[in-house]
């Protein structure tokens, strides 16, 4: 078994490492306070190519495989999670519907703009009545005089207020729902009848904005059905394929944050003196550090293996991806809890980054498929034979 | 313009350096190797001159195969071509010899400017650049923080003890870059993808017709002595603390 990282990916990781250390981490607490990423940083992220990770090279992206994308996200997640989130919905769920199922004309119009970061994309599936039960959406689309009219309300949409383009899922046949009644649309923010609703206040992920999107007779051109006319009613498949692909990168983000928490904890344990010696000399603390390190090691091996497998097969690794998302995000939750414990009172203070990681990581067990949904997917894949 | 930048690959400044088993080299296990940080200023400046005046930026490195990574980083930053003088035993060689070797590879490139970092952060010698300038018969302007090109004349600024020397000469010239010359760009991700397709030529000592001719060798490498632990001055009152501090400074530290 050879786990050597290919040279060009190793160079990318090094670039991200330096960018995080020099430009992102020094402002991570400020971004937390302001709830906003400075424009100059978004521009720097564009220049580095971070918005085009997963968009094919022919459309101006980097065309990275799963391993490359995971390595970039792992490194980018060693600071405030909002930086990763700013690019991740664009690379992931926002644009992947178009990459996977878009028509040549749709790819030509949207992908180069998304790859450069000139435009960004979000993914609008979730609704008040449709979370894990994604097929229960209420938003409708009706073909009237050659264009689609969308009506309804999406919520919890990451980067919804920053995006120029949304991949929106709506009912085109209520009787069929997931079995041929849901269609995916590309909606530009300038279309009449589209608006951004409430921007939510969250437990964490400050600097990244989650909002409602409102469709009030929103007019969408007929050609904006993802995949064209033939794909009307096939949107649920597009949604599931898109989410499958995102699971590994979500796991990579949790892993990167866990690694940073381990590093912070080791440093702190070595310099924090109680009872006349550094707390790293106490077994109670050593055991926590050892547990953190071992679980991170296990998580990294399974992530890299699944990513490698996906690149090798060139197709979805459904069961493995769900296992990896489940394990890595749950692992990161345990690591974050231990990191707060190692830091003691300091781990609970807003002036120190540990409590921020703790809050931000909580989300990774919920979005893009809760831990419970991952378990259902794993069991279903395992038992179907 | 033919712009050449010489690059050394060195241990990352965050790496914990351990002395090797032979006592004359460093332990190479678990070292992360990077482009010498001062060389990055050279690459950046060459790229800026190219953007302004046109030309090609060629980066040259010497050492084991792993040096490819530092050269690829420079290509990813925007350099056009790389040359690696590959030799497994070159790390730690006499810098004057390394300079002669580099000069052999650089001469056919007909350079207008040869950039170096002002020194490498591993051995702190800063000699290879002088050796190249000598071998190629070029003037050397060292430790510069600013340069201005005007036709075939170059004017540079060099900080010295609170003042600035302004020096000028005709091209071709060998320059060594100091911190402050510029802010090096990152190797962007698209740049890294493009770098894969850029030419990287590998030469051996034999290809260049050079044999090892080191005049110095490393006799020993000693780690810095371990720092003694600090001492907390004891005492109940400020007066008592002051007396004990003064006593410690006089009798133990022997500084007053």
- DSSP strand pairing (B56-63 vs B2-7): parallel
Assess whether B20 and B86 both reside in one domain: yes
Assess whether B117 and B30 both reside in one domain: yes
Residue A245 pLDDT more than 80? Answer: no
Find, among A99, A231, A217, the residue nearest to A165 by Cα: A99
Which residues in chain B are contacts of A55 at CB distance < 8 A? none
Assess whether B251 and B198 both reside in one domain: no
Assess whether B16 and B85 both reside in one domain: yes
Assess whether B240 and B136 both reside in one domain: no
Q: Residue B23's domain is classified under what CATH number?
A: 3.40.50.620
3-state class (DSSP) for residue A153: strand
Assess whether B138 and B253 both reside in one domain: no
A330 is catalytic: no
Q: What DSSP string runs through A262-288? A: HHHHHHHHHH-EETTEEGGGSHHHHHH
Q: pLDDT (tens digit, 9 = 90+) per residue, A304-358?
A: 999 999 999 888 789 999 999 999 999 999 999 999 999 999 999 999 999 999 9
Lowest model confidence (mean pLDDT) among A77-81, A177-181, B66-70: A177-181
Residue A1 pLDDT more than 80? Answer: no
Domains of chain A by range and CATH? 7-116 (1.10.540.10), 121-236 (2.40.110.10), 237-382 (1.20.140.10)
Distance CA A55, CA A119 (A): 13
Assess whether B253 and B147 both reside in one domain: no
Assess whether B9 and B54 both reside in one domain: yes
Specify the pLDDT at position A249.
Answer: 95
Residue B208 placed within a domain: no
Residue A235 pLDDT more than 80? Answer: yes
pLDDT tens per residue, chain B (256 residues)? 999 999 999 999 888 889 999 999 999 888 999 999 999 999 999 999 999 999 999 999 999 999 999 999 999 999 999 999 999 999 999 999 999 999 999 999 999 999 999 999 999 999 999 999 999 999 999 999 999 999 999 999 999 988 999 999 999 999 999 999 999 999 999 999 999 999 999 999 999 999 999 999 899 999 888 888 888 898 999 999 999 999 999 998 888 8
Which residues in chain A are contacts of B76 at CB distance < 8 A? 11, 15
Residues 6+ apart with CB under 8 A from A33: none
Contact assignment for B69 to A7 by CB distance below 8 Å: yes
Residue B221 placed within a domain: no
Specify the pLDDT at position B245.
Answer: 95
Assess whether B154 and B67 both reside in one domain: yes
Residue B85 placed within a domain: yes
Contact assignment for A50 to B72 by CB distance below 8 Å: no
Helix (H) or strand (E) holding A19: helix A7-19
The predicted model scores a pTM of 0.90
Domain assignment of residue B98, given as a range? 2-203
- CB contact A10 to B (< 8 Å): yes
Contact assignment for B189 to A7 by CB distance below 8 Å: no
**Which chain B residue's Cα is nearest to A9?**
B192
**Which chain B residue's Cα is nearest to A6?**
B69
- CB contact A19 to B (< 8 Å): yes
- B interface toward A at CB cutoff 8 Å? 34, 68-69, 72-73, 76, 186-193, 195-196
Specify the pLDDT at position B9.
Answer: 97
Assess whether B144 and B247 both reside in one domain: no
Contact assignment for B187 to A14 by CB distance below 8 Å: yes
Residue B248 placed within a domain: yes
Which residues in chain A are contacts of B191 at CB distance < 8 A? 49
**Average pLDDT score over chain A:** 95
Residue B147 placed within a domain: yes
Residue B7 placed within a domain: yes
Considering the candidates A32, A74, A320, A368, report the single residue annotated as catalytic.
A368
What domain count does chain B have? 2
């Amino acid at each position: 078994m050879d786990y050597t990282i290919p040279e060009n990916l190793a160079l990318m990781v090094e670039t991200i490492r330096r960018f995080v250390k020099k430009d992102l981490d020094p402002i991570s607490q400020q971004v937390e306070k302001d709830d906003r990423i400075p424009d100059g940083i978004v521009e720097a992220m564009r220049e580095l190519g971070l918005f085009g990770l997963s968009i094919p090279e022919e459309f101006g992206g980097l065309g990275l495989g799963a391993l490359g994308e995971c390595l970039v996200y792992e490194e980018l997640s060693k600071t405030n999670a909002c930086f990763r989130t700013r690019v991740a919905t664009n690379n992931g769920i926002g644009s992947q519907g178009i990459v996977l199922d878009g028509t040549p004309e749709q790819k030509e119009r949207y992908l180069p703009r998304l790859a450069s970061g000139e435009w960004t994309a979000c993914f609008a599936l979730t609704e008040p009545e449709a979370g894990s039960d994604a097929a229960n959406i209420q938003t409708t689309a009706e073909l009237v005089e050659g264009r689609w009219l969308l009506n309804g309300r999406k919520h919890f949409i990451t980067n919804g207020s920053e995006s120029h383009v949304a991949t929106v899922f709506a009912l085109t046949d209520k009787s069929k729902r997931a079995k041929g009644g849901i269609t995916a649309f590309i909606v530009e923010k300038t279309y009449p009848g589209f608006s951004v609703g409430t921007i939510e206040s969250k437990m964490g992920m400050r600097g990244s904005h989650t909002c409602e999107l409102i469709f009030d007779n929103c007019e969408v051109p007929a050609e904006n059905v993802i995949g064209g006319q033939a794909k009307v009613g096939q949107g649920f498949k597009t949604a599931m394929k898109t989410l499958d692909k995102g699971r590994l990168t979500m796991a990579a983000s949790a892993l990167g944050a866990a690694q940073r928490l381990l590093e912070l904890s080791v440093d702190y344990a070595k310099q924090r003196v109680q009872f006349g010696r550094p707390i790293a000399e106490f077994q109670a603390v050593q055991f926590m550090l050892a547990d953190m390190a071992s679980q991170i090691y296990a998580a990294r091996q399974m992530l890299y293996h699944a990513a490698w497998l996906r690149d090798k097969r060139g197709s979805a690794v459904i069961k493995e991806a769900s296992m990896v998302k489940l394990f890595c995000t749950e692992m990161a939750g345990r690591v974050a809890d231990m990191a707060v414990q190692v830091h003691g009172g300091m781990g609970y203070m807003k002036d120190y980054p540990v409590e921020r990681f703790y809050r931000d990581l909580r989300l990774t067990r919920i979005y893009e498929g809760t831990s419970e949904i991952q378990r259902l997917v794993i069991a279903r894949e395992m038992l179907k034979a | 313009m033919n712009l050449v930048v010489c690059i050394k690959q060195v241990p990352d400044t965050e790496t914990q350096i351990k002395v090797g088993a032979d006592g004359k080299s460093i332990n190479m296990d678990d070292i992360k190797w990077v482009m010498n940080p001062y060389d990055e200023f050279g690459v950046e400046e060459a790229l800026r001159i190219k953007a302004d005046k046109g030309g090609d930026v060629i980066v040259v490195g010497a050492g084991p195969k792993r040096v490819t990574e530092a050269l690829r980083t420079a290509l990813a930053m925007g350099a056009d071509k790389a040359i690696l003088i590959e030799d497994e035993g070159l790390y730690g060689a006499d810098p004057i010899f390394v300079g002669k070797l580099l000069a052999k590879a650089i001469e056919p490139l007909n350079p207008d400017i040869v950039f170096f970092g002002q020194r490498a952060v591993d051995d702190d010698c800063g000699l290879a650049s002088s050796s190249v300038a000598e071998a190629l018969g070029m003037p050397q302007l060292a430790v510069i923080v600013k340069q201005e090109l005007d036709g075939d004349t170059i004017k540079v600024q060099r900080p010295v003890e609170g003042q600035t020397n302004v020096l000028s000469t005709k091209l071709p010239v060998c320059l060594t870059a100091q911190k402050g010359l510029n802010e090096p760009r990152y190797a962007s991700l698209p740049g890294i993808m493009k770098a894969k397709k850029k030419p990287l030529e590998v030469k051996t000592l034999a290809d260049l017709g050079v044999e090892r001719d080191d005049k110095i060798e490393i006799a020993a490498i000693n780690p810095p002595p371990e720092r003694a632990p600090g001492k907390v001055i004891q005492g109940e009152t400020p007066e008592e603390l002051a007396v004990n501090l003064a006593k410690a400074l006089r009798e133990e530290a022997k500084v007053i």
